[in-house]
Amino acid sequence: MLIGNVGKEPEVRYVDQGQAVARLVLATTERGYTLQNGTQVPDRTEWHTVLMWRKLAEIAERYVHKGDKLYIEGRIHYATYDDKQGRRQHYTEIWADNMEMLTPRQAATTAVPSATTAAPSATTATQAGNATGADTSEALPF
């Protein structure tokens, strides 16, 4: 699980038969502290690439924006590829199974609040039920 802030607008594309895939960058920060001897240890920020599929990706496309705070549950995926020079490159992604939006949505920022244009203050979306194509719209609060 990760809790962090979205670093840039999610990139969403549609693949095989209109299946949505979202990629976003999430920043998590470990707070700094002071050692007993007075040495200051600074904050440390890590950047994570998060991938979402299907309904979860569509929710991210509509409601997630740069700066939003998210709670992400998922699994770590390690992969490699060969670059143009033939060197092996390694990368790590988080494959999200669940997301909760932690940033409250202000009524003042939405001209006409409605279920189709504004997200509630905290929403949860799970990808698990969508893998089978089941309709989870009743389980979602919007």
pLDDT digits 0-9 by tens, 87-137: 999 999 999 999 999 988 774 344 333 333 334 344 455 544 444 344 444
More confident residue, 106 or 11: 11
State the pLDDT at residue 125.
54
Measured CA to CA, the distance from residue 5 to residue 90 in angstroms comes to: 24
State the pLDDT at residue 105.
78
State the pLDDT at residue 104.
87
Q: Which residues contact 89 (CB under 8 A, 6 or more apart)?
A: 80, 81, 82, 83
In angstroms, what CA-CA distances link 124 with 36, 57, 100?
A: 41, 13, 4
